[in-house]
Structure 1
Amino acid sequence: MINLLTNVVQDSVAVMEAPAAVVAEVPAEVTAAVADAAAAGATALFTANNIWMMLATALVFIMHLGFAGVEAGFGQSKNTVNILFKNTITPIIGLITYLICGFNLMYPGDFGIIDGVLGFAGFGLDAGDGASIDYAGGGYTYWTDFLFQGMFAATAATIVSGAIAERVKLSSYMIFTLLYVGIVYPILGSWKWGAGFLDAAGFYDFAGSTLVHSVGGWGALAGIIVIGPRLGKYVDGKVIDKPGTSVPLAVIGVFLLWLGWFGFNGGSVLSADPDLVSFVLVTTCMAACTGGLFGFLTAYAVFKRMDLGMVLNGILAGLVGITAGADVISVNNSLIVGAVAGIIVVLSAITLDKFKLDDVVGAVSVHLSCGIWGTLAVGIFSMNPEHSFATQLYGVAMYAIAAFPIAFILFFVLKKTVGVRVSEQHETEGLDTHEHGIRGYTIVYDE
């Protein structure tokens, strides 16, 4: 359907652009009909593109439910309500701050403050004359653009939530989210997606292995360093397992994330182009498969057990890994990208434990370690000869230099002012009862 509409538009334009002598021989009725057909075709194509972008937006929104499931499933039952509260409030804060200033920081139009680094188009939303077929080359409306990008923004903070779960003060987390999603993420995102200096340098990140996942991952790493591990996690040089509440819930969460990634990557095509969207969905899905497979194999080689948690994180690792190059890496090479990500996520988790860096859901290993790998993989496997490993490495370094120190400073200032960690009593007895007054799981027995 899309190809047919595209051909109609192209043929109509060709007739309209024909030499005057030829057009003069065409009856006025035919010329008018051609013009009407071109307009109708363009409108239909615009509508199809916009519908796909809205559907992709809905799929990315579902990812927040997936994150909530994973975090609640891997967390302890005594903290379930606290975890779900954070995962509920995060997209709320993210979308409001993105509306107020984030969208216009990320897409400033003109880097009038610091060229290529910082610009601002003003507060709030103003479609002007852009909420029409003229906006974004007929791909989608201004409003669809805002909402799709806003869902991405909220994801960056959700990544942090999982890593620092079960001991962070809710008020401090909310302040961090407000600043990190509302200001930091959009500015860093503008460097590539807003036509900033990294875009000019040739850095490539199709859907956010670095811009979303690594930025969130750097924030998560800063958080677990400043806040410290959960009580009793590391004792006498040993890692003490803290069993999660619900393995089924964690599995459901991962599959919801996998589903949402079809919108995350597929929507990043920014149109309903049938060939490219289909291709992106295939590379995305295949990387997830090999990520899960090699997460399982690596964990089995190391732990001598069939570790479901590593299979789940391996799936997510593969998805994160392919996100930077889902449109420029071949299907066969997407298998390699996913497989390497599946290996990396296990080794990264082991390394973090050696340094006593407590990450409840493995967010740093999944989003930061594999986000870096996926971004560099573009420089290795991209079918576009203009993409180079050196440029990709440069982009990774720029985001590391910016995102980690900023996140660390935010957490450090919060620690020294309002505090970032709950009391020992609250952590031991559970955040649900003390912070929220209810429990996530309550069994009532009839007397």
Structure 2
Amino acid sequence: MTIDTLNTGLDTIWIVLTAAMIILMEGGFALLEAGFVRHKNNVNIIMKVFADITIGALSFYLIGFGLMWGADAFGLIGTNGFTLSGDLSHLKLNVSLDTFWLFQAAFVIAVISIVSGAVAERINFRAYLLYIVLMTAIIYPIAGHWVWGGGFLGQLGMVDFAGSAVIHGLGGFAALAAAIFIGPRKGKFTQNGTSAIALPSNLPLASVGAFLLWFGWFGFNAGSTLSATDGRIGHIAIVTMLSAVSGGAATLLYTLFRYKRSDAPSVINGSLAGLVGITAGCAFVTDQAAILIGAISGLLMIVATNWLESRKIDDPVGAFPVHAVSGVWGTIALGLFSTDGGLFYSGSWVLVGTQLFGLVVLCTWGFVATWGGLALINRIVPVRSTEEEEEIGLDISYHGVLAAYQERDFINSEEHLIDYDNKYK
């Protein structure tokens, strides 16, 4: 066995393992979002996540991978590699194409799951399926090509190691567009303009979801080395941890002193915000910078959450504050704190300027493409659920489930219909 063969084997194991960790994050998304929404929509959340994985991965295999990683055309799109066919030697992989695709598919699934939370409890399930195809086949792959696939932003020098901008910034602004387009949940904002509090159905469930996401994030960031022998893996892992704990600690202490209580949803999202913030620069910043990046990410998340409320934008799980705002900050922070060309180390504004330009492009693309895509989908099938469907819950409306947590062992189909008629008609 040669050294090259051994390295290829180790890299393959590393990439498959970290890809599996990232895919497990979908369990985290499912539990987090289900815990934050009301009981009558828990199953709908789970079904949307399953749709993200199934429809999303297939769409990426058929179309998205080629647009993202195919041979570059004018710095805008890839032109081959659809269904993993054609000459992709330009990728210069140390592992098989199949292995590389699996890791990239795990990423694309995460992007669409960001949008899922922002439109929870009121999106038409059929319309959401169409949007999954749009995001995983076109919107995200094109943006990914611009930065990672040989496109114009990468050529300009934009740096985004694991996706604060490409995944979280893009996905977060897509989530904002979707939340505005579809409108708030019925009863969320009163006629006099105040916001009604929608009580989470299960905060312990949401916290377990956050911990699963936290676990998967080590694969998300460290796995982006695409090499098991990369000496940066340990450092990437520790700055990921430090940023997450700093984000959680900042929100815990802020809510404790500001409101005289430590707010659980804020701490959960604060930790996730810290993870998002460090994702761009995890390979390039120091431990101390990671702590600062995480703390600011957590506090910005709270500011953004309050801003959404003031603008009467309904985001049930905090997708925009956690992913978009923290992703934007993390991408800028890389330009400031990177030990390789960052402002505070080189004295040059070049990287900061490049990062800012890339953010404007990516976030605008995510917002505009989502808005236009939903407008198109709305001509095919209504994007918003009906008032009756929203009132009785999307679990029964779209999936035929009376309640996510059942009290009876068996029920026949006739009795199920009688219960539905009596309760909802």
TM-score by length of 1: 0.87
Q: Cα 1:137–1:150, aligned 2, differ >3 Å: closer, same or farther?
A: closer
| Secondary structure, aligned partner of 1:238 | coil
Gaps of 5+ in 1: 1-38
CA RMSD of aligned residues (A): 1.8
Decide whether the 8 Å contact of 2:158 with 2:355 is kept in 1: yes
- 1:411, CA displacement in angstroms? 1.6
1:44 matches 2:3? no
1:190 matches 2:148? no
Task: Give 2:416's aligned residue.
Answer: none
Task: Give 2:19's aligned residue.
Answer: 57
1:125 counterpart (84, 87, 104): 84
- 1:122, CA displacement in angstroms? 4.6
Counterpart residue type for residue 291 of structure 1:
G
Q: Distance in 2 between matches of 1:401 and 1:370?
A: 16
Q: Distance in 1 between matches of 2:160 and 2:88?
A: 29
Task: Give 1:202's aligned residue.
Answer: 157
1:178 matches 2:127? no
- 1:299, CA displacement in angstroms? 2.8
Decide whether the 8 Å contact of 1:299 with 1:346 is kept in 2: no
Gaps of 5+ in 2: 343-349, 411-425
| Secondary structure, aligned partner of 2:366 | helix
Task: Give 1:156's aligned residue.
Answer: 111
2:396 counterpart (423, 433, 446): 433
| Secondary structure, aligned partner of 2:405 | coil
Q: Deviations over 1:391-423 (max 9, x none)?
A: 110110111222211111112233344211111
Q: Distance in 2 between matches of 1:117 and 1:303?
A: 48
Is the deviation greater in 78-87 or in 293-302?
293-302
Q: Distance in 2 between matches of 1:273 and 1:204?
A: 22
Q: Distance in 2 between matches of 1:135 and 1:433?
A: 47
1:424 matches 2:380? no
Q: Deviations over 1:282-333 (max 9, x none)?
A: 1111100001011222333443321011110001000000000000011111
1:249 matches 2:205? yes
Decide whether the 8 Å contact of 1:298 with 1:346 is kept in 2: no
Q: Deviations over 1:82-129 (max 9, x none)?
A: 111001111111110111011111011231xxx001231153113779
1:266 matches 2:205? no
| Secondary structure, aligned partner of 2:160 | coil
Task: Give 1:413's aligned residue.
Answer: 376
Decide whether the 8 Å contact of 1:325 with 1:374 is kept in 2: yes
1:397 counterpart (329, 336, 360): 360
Q: Cα 1:343–1:170, aligned 2, differ >3 Å: closer, same or farther?
A: same
Q: Deviations over 1:324-364 (max 9, x none)?
A: 00000111110000000010011100110000100010001
Task: Give 1:237's aligned residue.
Answer: 193
Q: Distance in 2 between matches of 1:135 and 1:219?
A: 28
Decide whether the 8 Å contact of 2:72 with 2:149 is kept in 1: no
Decide whether the 8 Å contact of 1:233 with 1:358 is kept in 2: yes
Counterpart residue type for residue 396 of structure 2:
T
Task: Give 2:247's aligned residue.
Answer: 291
Indicate the percent of aligned positions where both proteins have the same amino acid: 38
Task: Give 1:24's aligned residue.
Answer: none
Task: Give 2:347's aligned residue.
Answer: none
Counterpart residue type for residue 220 of structure 1:
A
| Secondary structure, aligned partner of 2:78 | coil
Counterpart residue type for residue 391 of structure 1:
T
Q: Distance in 2 between matches of 1:372 and 1:76?
A: 30
Decide whether the 8 Å contact of 1:153 with 1:181 is kept in 2: yes
1:146 matches 2:109? no
Decide whether the 8 Å contact of 1:127 with 1:142 is kept in 2: no
Decide whether the 8 Å contact of 2:65 with 2:81 is kept in 1: no
Q: Deviations over 1:197-247 (max 9, x none)?
A: 001101000000010111111110011101110111111222211111211
Counterpart residue type for residue 125 of structure 1:
L
Task: Give 1:109's aligned residue.
Answer: 71
Task: Give 1:69's aligned residue.
Answer: 31
Q: Distance in 1 between matches of 2:152 and 2:409?
A: 63
Q: Distance in 1 between matches of 2:259 and 2:399?
A: 37
TM-score by length of 2: 0.91
2:47 counterpart (82, 85, 104): 85
Counterpart residue type for residue 413 of structure 1:
L
Q: Distance in 2 between matches of 1:391 and 1:129?
A: 28
1:333 matches 2:297? no
Decide whether the 8 Å contact of 1:105 with 1:119 is kept in 2: yes
Counterpart residue type for residue 265 of structure 2:
G
Q: Distance in 2 between matches of 1:108 and 1:135?
A: 9
Counterpart residue type for residue 233 of structure 1:
K
Task: Give 1:323's aligned residue.
Answer: 279
Q: Distance in 2 between matches of 1:299 and 1:146?
A: 42
Decide whether the 8 Å contact of 2:80 with 2:86 is kept in 1: no
Decide whether the 8 Å contact of 2:75 with 2:146 is kept in 1: yes
Q: Cα 1:332–1:129, aligned 2, differ >3 Å: closer, same or farther?
A: closer
Task: Give 1:372's aligned residue.
Answer: 328
- 1:137, CA displacement in angstroms? 4.9
